[in-house]
Amino acid sequence: MTEEQKVYQSETMEGLEEDRPCAKWRLACGLHSYNLRDVCTWSLLKTIVMGQVLSLLICGTAVSCQYLADAKVETPMLQSFLNYALLLLVYTTILCFRKGERNIIEILKTKWWKYLVMGLADVEANYAVVKAYQFTTLTSIQLLDCFVIPVLMLLSWFLLKTRYRLVHFLAVAVCLLGVGAMVGADILAGRDQGSRSDVVLGDGLVLLSAVLYAVSNVCQEYTVKNLSRVEFLGMMGLFGTVISGIQLVVLESKAVAAIQWDLHISMLFALYALCMYALYSFMPVVVKMTSATAVNLSMLTADLFSLFCGIFLFHYIFSTLYIISFVIITMGFIMFNAVPTYSALPDSGSSENGDPPADATSSHLLSLNGEYQRTETVTAVAAM
């Protein structure tokens, strides 16, 4: 072997040893077959934009709720009822005119109880989080409401057989760090924290709403990806209208009767109902493109949009931490969507021990092929 060949072999072996830890890290994170060109795509950009549209719609509901609260109107169940009624009028009506197995009668014969549970979870989640504002602080609600994300990931793992990579958990941590920055900005700015009459009860209601939202979102993801968006919204409109209507009569009859109706109040109710209707109609589209977990991560910026509106409408104090929080949450959302999750369902080619499906395993093998070829090169050089 010549001196040049020995030097080449030594440099190649050193490079191989240096690359191995990096390759293992990239494989663990799910980045073994991705580069910057794979991450920065139009699909990801579209997902980011659509997620922020959802956040803006939530911002619209928050602003209208704030104005209603300023007018001494506190009827959360009436507001939810209006949204479910709109879904009923549009999507449930569509189901009524369908034929065959997709007709509403055939759906109710076989799956009525499933949609009843889904509708009950959604209605009570909305009610519980609004009720929590009467007992606990805004900071507690903002922090504890993030509990929906780990619960959603857990339910997706067991019910939808979704498998996450290390980069997904890191992305969630980054998003929650952004929420922490937002809450810190609220505290430093001295923003009104609301009631503290019964913090334990209020925090419990927030956690309950997070669990119920997670149940509803998992049901939504399964339905829109395996059945249809119209079926999900039609059933949500039907059972949501019935359940919220009953609770409206029982809990808010006096509050509704006491409302001093005028054009201003009517417009606020209309704004809330239309924003919620658009949110419910549009959210399944984004869920089908990504996942319920990704959608909830994107909607963490909704509070920030509400704060930005509050700076102009309600004279909130601006803080640079709000901008930093928005950037951090957006970065976490991009990280989460940069690497796709995979399914461990048996029909996807996975084994019972939770190994990745065939296509994921193939990608793994392809990523190692380059290292194998380099090893062959070193062996060939050594043989000279």
Mean pLDDT value of segment 353-359: 39
Mean pLDDT across the chain, nearest whole number? Answer: 80
The answer as to whether 336 is a domain residue is no
* Helices 302-313 and 42-70, packing angle to 10 deg: 50
Q: Residue 115 belongs to what domain range? A: 42-163+192-288
Measure the CA–CA gap between 126 and 212, rounded to whole angstroms: 9
**What are 343's strand-pairing partners?**
162
> What amino acid occupies position 346?
P
**What are 163's strand-pairing partners?**
342
Note whether 371 and 61 are within 8 A (CB): no
Measure the CA–CA gap between 133 and 131, rounded to whole angstroms: 5
- Sequence-ordered strand ranges (E) for 84-206: 162-163
**pLDDT score at 189:** 67
The answer as to whether 343 is a domain residue is no
Nearest to 292 by CA among 147, 155, 99: 155
User: pLDDT for 45-69, tens place per residue?
Assistant: 888 899 899 999 998 988 888 888 8
The answer as to whether 48 is a domain residue is yes
> What amino acid occupies position 90?
V
DSSP letter (8 states) at residue 32: T
Measure the CA–CA gap between 331 and 299, rounded to whole angstroms: 13
Measure the CA–CA gap between 77 and 130, rounded to whole angstroms: 9
Residue 126 to residues 133, 211, 259, Cα–Cα distance (Å): 12, 11, 21
- Residue 348 confidence (pLDDT) above 50: no
The answer as to whether 255 is a domain residue is yes
Mean pLDDT value of segment 354-376: 38
Counting the structural domains of the chain, the total is: 1
The two three-digit tokens of residue 260, written as one number: 């001093």
Note whether 136 and 207 are within 8 A (CB): no
**What are 162's strand-pairing partners?**
343
The answer as to whether 216 is a domain residue is yes
Element (H, E) at 191: none
Compute how many other C-beta atoms are within 10 angstroms of the C-beta atom of residue 226. Answer: 8
**Tokens 């999507």 label which residue?**
91
Question: What value, to the nearest 5°, has the Cα angle with vertex 348 and ends 343 and 354?
Answer: 55
The burial of 197, by beta-carbon neighbours within 10 Å (0-12 exposed, 13-18 middle, 19 or more buried), is given as: exposed
The answer as to whether 242 is a domain residue is yes
The answer as to whether 349 is a domain residue is no
The answer as to whether 6 is a domain residue is no
What share of the chain has pLDDT > 70, as a percent? 76
The burial of 352, by beta-carbon neighbours within 10 Å (0-12 exposed, 13-18 middle, 19 or more buried), is given as: exposed
User: pLDDT for 195-228, tens place per residue?
Assistant: 566 778 888 988 999 999 999 999 999 999 999 9
Half-sphere exposure of 280 (CA within 13 A, CB side): 31
The two three-digit tokens of residue 309, written as one number: 């509106």
- Residue 43 confidence (pLDDT) above 70: yes
Q: What is the pTM of this model?
A: 0.78
* Helices 199-226 and 148-159, packing angle to 10 deg: 40
Please report, in angstroms and rounded to a whole number, the separation of the first and last CA atoms in the chain: 6
Note whether 243 and 120 are within 8 A (CB): yes
Note whether 209 and 125 are within 8 A (CB): yes
**pLDDT score at 146:** 87
User: pLDDT for 249-275, tens place per residue?
Assistant: 999 999 999 999 999 999 999 999 999
